[in-house]
Amino acid sequence: MLENLPPNTLPRLLRRTILSAIVVGVVGFVATLLIAPHAPFAAVGVVIGVGLAILNLRFLDRQAASVELKGEQSSKAIRRQLGGKTTGRLALMTLVVLLVVWLYAPLGIGIVSGLVLYQIVFVINVMRVVANQGGFE
Protein backbone atom coordinates (compact mmCIF):
# COMPACT_ATOMS: atom_id res chain seq x y z
CA MET A 1 0.00 0.00 0.00
CA LEU A 2 2.74 2.48 0.97
CA GLU A 3 4.85 1.60 -2.07
CA ASN A 4 2.25 3.30 -4.30
CA LEU A 5 2.64 6.66 -2.54
CA PRO A 6 4.74 9.50 -4.00
CA PRO A 7 8.41 9.46 -2.87
CA ASN A 8 8.14 12.66 -0.82
CA THR A 9 5.32 11.21 1.30
CA LEU A 10 7.45 9.03 3.59
CA PRO A 11 9.70 11.80 4.97
CA ARG A 12 6.62 13.93 5.67
CA LEU A 13 4.92 10.96 7.32
CA LEU A 14 7.94 10.32 9.55
CA ARG A 15 8.26 13.99 10.50
CA ARG A 16 4.54 14.25 11.26
CA THR A 17 4.65 11.04 13.28
CA ILE A 18 7.59 12.24 15.37
CA LEU A 19 5.98 15.62 16.06
CA SER A 20 2.65 14.00 16.92
CA ALA A 21 4.38 11.48 19.18
CA ILE A 22 6.17 14.25 21.04
CA VAL A 23 2.86 16.03 21.63
CA VAL A 24 1.16 12.80 22.71
CA GLY A 25 4.14 12.01 24.97
CA VAL A 26 3.83 15.36 26.72
CA VAL A 27 0.08 14.91 27.10
CA GLY A 28 0.68 11.36 28.37
CA PHE A 29 3.24 12.67 30.87
CA VAL A 30 0.80 15.24 32.24
CA ALA A 31 -2.12 12.80 32.25
CA THR A 32 -0.06 10.20 34.11
CA LEU A 33 0.95 12.76 36.70
CA LEU A 34 -2.71 13.69 37.18
CA ILE A 35 -3.95 10.08 37.31
CA ALA A 36 -1.15 8.68 39.47
CA PRO A 37 0.53 11.54 41.36
CA HIS A 38 2.10 9.04 43.76
CA ALA A 39 4.01 7.36 40.89
CA PRO A 40 5.90 10.11 39.04
CA PHE A 41 8.25 7.53 37.55
CA ALA A 42 5.34 6.16 35.52
CA ALA A 43 5.05 9.59 33.85
CA VAL A 44 8.79 9.62 33.20
CA GLY A 45 8.40 6.14 31.73
CA VAL A 46 5.83 7.41 29.21
CA VAL A 47 8.35 9.97 27.98
CA ILE A 48 11.12 7.36 27.85
CA GLY A 49 8.86 4.97 25.90
CA VAL A 50 7.95 7.58 23.31
CA GLY A 51 11.63 8.56 23.10
CA LEU A 52 12.69 4.94 22.54
CA ALA A 53 10.11 4.53 19.79
CA ILE A 54 11.28 7.73 18.06
CA LEU A 55 14.90 6.62 18.40
CA ASN A 56 14.03 3.25 16.88
CA LEU A 57 12.31 5.00 13.97
CA ARG A 58 15.36 7.20 13.35
CA PHE A 59 17.65 4.14 13.38
CA LEU A 60 15.34 2.35 10.94
CA ASP A 61 15.24 5.41 8.67
CA ARG A 62 19.05 5.67 8.59
CA GLN A 63 19.36 1.93 8.06
CA ALA A 64 16.94 1.98 5.12
CA ALA A 65 18.77 4.94 3.58
CA SER A 66 22.11 3.13 3.78
CA VAL A 67 20.65 0.01 2.15
CA GLU A 68 19.38 2.06 -0.79
CA LEU A 69 22.85 3.57 -1.32
CA LYS A 70 24.44 0.15 -1.88
CA GLY A 71 23.00 -0.10 -5.38
CA GLU A 72 21.37 -3.13 -6.99
CA GLN A 73 20.44 -5.82 -4.50
CA SER A 74 17.73 -8.42 -4.51
CA SER A 75 14.67 -7.62 -2.44
CA LYS A 76 15.31 -10.76 -0.39
CA ALA A 77 18.80 -9.56 0.56
CA ILE A 78 17.46 -6.13 1.49
CA ARG A 79 14.70 -7.65 3.65
CA ARG A 80 17.20 -9.93 5.35
CA GLN A 81 19.58 -7.03 6.05
CA LEU A 82 16.85 -4.74 7.38
CA GLY A 83 15.03 -7.51 9.22
CA GLY A 84 18.05 -8.79 11.11
CA LYS A 85 19.12 -5.45 12.49
CA THR A 86 15.56 -4.38 13.23
CA THR A 87 14.79 -7.65 15.00
CA GLY A 88 17.95 -7.34 17.07
CA ARG A 89 17.17 -3.77 18.05
CA LEU A 90 13.58 -4.64 19.01
CA ALA A 91 14.74 -7.69 20.98
CA LEU A 92 17.20 -5.54 22.91
CA MET A 93 14.53 -2.92 23.62
CA THR A 94 12.13 -5.65 24.77
CA LEU A 95 14.70 -7.12 27.14
CA VAL A 96 15.51 -3.71 28.60
CA VAL A 97 11.82 -2.88 29.10
CA LEU A 98 11.12 -6.28 30.71
CA LEU A 99 14.10 -5.77 33.02
CA VAL A 100 12.82 -2.33 34.01
CA VAL A 101 9.31 -3.73 34.60
CA TRP A 102 10.83 -6.39 36.83
CA LEU A 103 13.05 -3.94 38.74
CA TYR A 104 10.59 -1.07 39.13
CA ALA A 105 7.10 -1.70 37.76
CA PRO A 106 5.76 1.90 37.57
CA LEU A 107 8.66 3.02 35.38
CA GLY A 108 8.44 -0.10 33.21
CA ILE A 109 4.69 0.14 32.72
CA GLY A 110 5.15 3.81 31.84
CA ILE A 111 7.72 2.87 29.19
CA VAL A 112 5.40 0.25 27.73
CA SER A 113 2.59 2.83 27.71
CA GLY A 114 4.81 5.30 25.84
CA LEU A 115 5.69 2.68 23.24
CA VAL A 116 2.01 1.85 22.78
CA LEU A 117 1.09 5.54 22.46
CA TYR A 118 3.73 5.95 19.77
CA GLN A 119 2.40 2.97 17.80
CA ILE A 120 -1.13 4.35 17.95
CA VAL A 121 0.12 7.71 16.66
CA PHE A 122 2.07 5.98 13.89
CA VAL A 123 -0.90 3.90 12.71
CA ILE A 124 -3.20 6.95 12.75
CA ASN A 125 -0.70 8.96 10.70
CA VAL A 126 -0.24 6.14 8.17
CA MET A 127 -4.00 5.71 7.83
CA ARG A 128 -4.38 9.45 7.32
CA VAL A 129 -1.72 9.57 4.59
CA VAL A 130 -3.16 6.54 2.78
CA ALA A 131 -6.69 7.95 2.98
CA ASN A 132 -5.49 11.32 1.61
CA GLN A 133 -3.64 9.63 -1.27
CA GLY A 134 -6.63 7.73 -2.61
CA GLY A 135 -7.92 5.65 0.21
CA PHE A 136 -7.90 1.99 0.98
CA GLU A 137 -8.62 -0.72 -1.57
Report, as an integer, the average pLDDT of 73-86. 71
The answer to whether position 77 is within a domain reads yes
The answer to whether position 127 is within a domain reads yes
99 vs 36, more confident:
99
66 vs 109, more confident:
109
The answer to whether position 42 is within a domain reads yes
pTM score: 0.82
Angle at 10 between CA 49 and CA 93, to 5 degrees: 25
Listing DSSP states for 67-132 in one string gives HHTT-S--HHHHHHHHHHHHHHHHHHHHHHHHHHHHH-HHHHHHHHHHHHHHHHHHHHHHHHHHHH
pLDDT at 74 over 80: no
The answer to whether position 61 is within a domain reads yes
1 vs 36, more confident:
36
Q: Residue 133: what residue type? A: Q
Report, as an integer, the average pLDDT of 118-127. 92
Tens of pLDDT along 10-68?
778 888 999 999 999 999 999 999 998 888 999 999 999 999 999 988 888 787 777 65
Q: How many domains does the chain have?
A: 1
The answer to whether position 4 is within a domain reads no
Q: How far apart are CA 92 and CA 21, in angstroms?
A: 22
The confidence score (pLDDT) of residue 59 equals 85
The closest alpha carbon to 6, from 120, 125, 129, belongs to 129
Other C-beta atoms lying within 10 Å of the C-beta of residue 16? 15
The confidence score (pLDDT) of residue 4 equals 61
The confidence score (pLDDT) of residue 96 equals 93
Query: What contacts 75, CB < 8 A, 6 or more positions away?
Result: none
The answer to whether position 2 is within a domain reads no
Phi-psi sector, 36: left (phi>0), alpha (psi -120 to 50), beta: beta
Q: If you average pLDDT over every residue of the chain, what do you get? A: 84
The confidence score (pLDDT) of residue 136 equals 57
The answer to whether position 53 is within a domain reads yes
66 vs 125, more confident:
125
| Domain coverage including residue 55 | 9-131
The answer to whether position 3 is within a domain reads no
Other C-beta atoms lying within 10 Å of the C-beta of residue 115? 22
The confidence score (pLDDT) of residue 73 equals 63
